[in-house]
C-alpha cells in the first residue's frame, strides 16, 4: 500500500482535551476481518526532550504479525506472533508470543492462551536465572527493561499495536495532568530500582512531583486504504513541564503504527 492510497481522518487534541473529529461512517466502512488474513504491524516511537537543564532523544521499534483465526458476530479471534524471520534468540526473549486473543467489536482484548504463556514465562525465568521475586522490577542492560511475568500484560502491549478504532464519533476525552505526574513518578521509581538507589514509594515520588505544572496535547491521524482498512496511525504527544523554580521541559513523542496486509501463503 502506498501512502497516497490512504484516506486520512484527523483526531486533534486541543489544550488539555482530545477532540475526536471524524465521521462515524468511517467506523462503519472498516473492512471485516477474514479468516486466514495476515498483517505485519510495525510500531516506531521517537521521543525528543528539550529543557532548560537538559536535552535528549530516543527511538525504538518493534514488529509483530497478526493472523485472523476466526471471525464471530461479536468480534474476531486473532493470533499475534513475531515475524517469520525472527531469530531463535529473539523468540527465547519474547515469551509473550505467540499470543491468541479475542478482540471484541468494541476493541477490548481477552487472552485465550494464558496457560501457554504461563508455561513459557516459567521456562524463561529458569533460562535467564531470574527469581520470581524480581518480577515487576526494572533493570537496565542496554536499555530500560521491566521484568514482566504476568501473562495478561501482553494485552497492554497488543493494545499499542491496535490501530482499528472502534468509534470515531465526535466526543471529548480530558487529559488529566495528575495522570502525567503519576507517570513521571513511576519513572522515578523505575530509575531508583535500576540505579540501586533506596526504594522509592509511589506516595513519595508523587509528593516530589506535586509542585510541577504539567500540560499537554495529543494529535492522532488515521489513514485508511481503499478497502476501508485502517492502515496507519500517527500519534504526536507534546508535554510541557514547568518546575517550581520556573525551569521548563518540553517532550515531543511521535508514535507511528502501520498495519500491512501480507500476501497469501
> Domain-by-domain residue ranges, the chain?
3-261
Helix, strand, or coil here: 140?
strand
What pLDDT, on the 0 to 100 scale, is given for residue 224? 80
For range 109-119, the mean pLDDT: 97
Average pLDDT, the chain: 83
Handedness of CA 126, 191, 43, 183 (dihedral sign): positive
Lowest mean pLDDT among 4-13, 42-51, 85-94: 4-13
* Helix 177-195, helix 202-209: angle, nearest 10: 120
**What's the pLDDT tens digit per position in 127-178?**
888 888 888 887 766 566 788 899 999 999 999 999 876 655 434 755 788 8
Among 154, 156, 180, CA closest to 250: 180
pLDDT tens string 19-41: 333 333 344 334 568 899 999 99
Percent of the chain scoring above 70 in pLDDT: 82
pTM of the model: 0.79
Helix (H) or strand (E) holding 26: helix 24-28
What is the number of other CB atoms lying within 10 angstroms of the CB of residue 229?
22
- Mean pLDDT is lowest, of 51-65, 83-97, 100-114, 188-202, for 188-202
Amino acid at each position: 500500500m502506498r501512502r497516497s492510497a490512504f484516506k486520512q481522518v484527523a483526531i486533534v487534541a486541543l489544550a488539555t482535551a482530545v477532540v475526536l473529529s471524524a465521521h462515524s461512517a468511517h467506523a462503519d466502512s472498516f473492512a471485516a476481518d477474514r479468516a486466514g488474513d495476515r498483517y505485519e504491524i510495525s510500531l516506531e516511537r521517537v521521543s525528543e526532550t528539550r529543557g532548560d537543564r537538559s536535552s535528549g532523544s530516543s527511538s525504538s521499534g518493534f514488529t509483530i504479525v497478526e493472523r485472523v483465526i476466526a471471525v464471530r458476530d461479536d468480534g474476531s479471534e486473532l493470533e499475534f506472533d513475531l515475524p517469520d524471520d525472527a531469530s531463535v534468540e529473539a523468540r527465547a526473549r519474547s515469551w509473550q508470543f505467540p499470543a491468541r486473543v479475542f478482540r471484541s467489536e468494541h476493541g477490548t482484548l481477552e487472552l485465550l492462551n494464558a496457560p501457554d504463556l504461563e508455561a513459557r514465562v516459567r521456562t524463561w525465568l529458569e533460562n535467564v536465572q531470574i527469581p520470581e521475586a524480581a518480577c515487576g522490577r526494572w533493570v537496565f542492560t542496554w536499555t530500560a527493561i521491566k521484568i514482566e511475568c504476568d501473562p495478561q500484560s501482553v494485552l497492554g502491549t497488543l493494545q499499542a499495536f491496535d490501530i482499528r478504532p472502534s468509534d470515531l464519533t465526535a466526543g471529548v476525552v480530558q487529559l488529566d495532568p495528575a495522570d502525567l505526574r503519576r507517570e513521571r513518578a513511576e519513572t522515578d521509581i523505575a530509575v531508583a530500582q535500576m540505579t540501586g538507589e533506596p526504594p522509592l514509594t509511589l506516595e513519595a515520588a508523587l509528593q516530589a512531583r506535586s509542585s510541577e505544572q504539567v500540560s499537554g496535547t495529543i494529535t492522532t491521524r488515521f489513514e485508511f486504504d481503499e478497502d476501508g482498512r485502517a492502515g496507519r496511525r500517527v500519534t504526536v504527544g507534546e508535554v510541557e513541564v514547568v518546575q517550581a523554580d520556573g525551569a521548563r521541559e518540553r517532550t515531543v513523542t511521535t508514535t507511528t503504527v502501520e498495519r500491512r496486509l501480507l500476501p497469501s501463503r
